[in-house]
Amino acid sequence: MPVLHRDQPEPTSRGLLQMFAAGMLGAAGCGFAAGFLAKSTRGPVGDLITLGAFLGFVLAGGGVLYFGLVRRYGWGWQEFGFTRPTRSLWHLTWWIPATIAAGGIRAMLIGTALGLSPSGGSSETAGFHLSIVASILIFVITVILAPLFEEIVFRRVLMDWLDARFSTWIAATVTTVAFTAAHISPAIMLYIVFLGTSLILARLWFGSLWGSFLVHAANNGLVTAIALLAL
């Protein structure tokens, strides 16, 4: 695997567990609060709980990243993996659409064969509309903050920690499994398997987190735009 040039200490096993625990506590707290908000506004309960839990995980885990790595170890953008790519990012003009198309088609075929499909629309969403401010906030969270946090956690911290102890492909496989397991819905997980594989390959091929982050952000941007237009 391309080596990121780092002089600062790496997180320990204990640090990784603390990061995960903080994220789970944040997800539980914000998900619980979002559930009450959904009930009071007659909004889509499942969607808002998922968004709240996701936001809580990002904020709590991001806090651990900041205090544990930035403040304690002095990490900067390069230590977080955002180094100069070894290949031109113009390759993303075909990489991104290929990832979305291939992942979507394969997940649909496998999901149909297994009898899995996303849940249909709920009457709870009838008459529910997000404000412009809320829509912009959701877009920023899902397209910028969430991919940034997930890429640092999974394809920088976790993958590099595993790569220092096992082969690159074992590290890549475990990272993809962990990334997929973090997404709860079985129908979504089928797509996430292919997305996670593409993100791993982008990290390795470009030799930088810029590649995988931009693929991740573009994917989330398309999905989020479709979801917001449906509300």
Tally of CA atoms within 13 A in the half-sphere of 208 that contains its CB = 14
What are the residue boundaries of the structural domains of the chain, listed by start?
Answer: 9-75, 82-230
For residue 2, pLDDT over 70 is answered with no
From CA 87, how far away is CA 208, in angstroms rounded? 9
Residue that has been written with the tokens 């996303």 in this structure:
118
Q: What is the pTM of this model?
A: 0.81
What's the mean pLDDT in 79-95? 94
Tens-place pLDDT, residues 156-203: 989 998 998 999 999 999 999 988 887 766 667 778 888 999 999 999
Tens-place pLDDT, residues 128-167: 566 677 678 878 888 998 899 889 989 998 999 899 899 9
Tens-place pLDDT, residues 24-71: 777 778 777 877 776 776 666 666 676 777 777 777 878 878 887 888
Sort residue 228 into left (φ over 0), alpha (ψ -120 to 50) or beta. Answer: alpha
Give me the helices (H) in 42-121, please. Answer: 45-65, 72-73, 92-114
Enumerate residues 6+ apart whose C-beta is below 8 A from 68.
11, 15, 18, 19
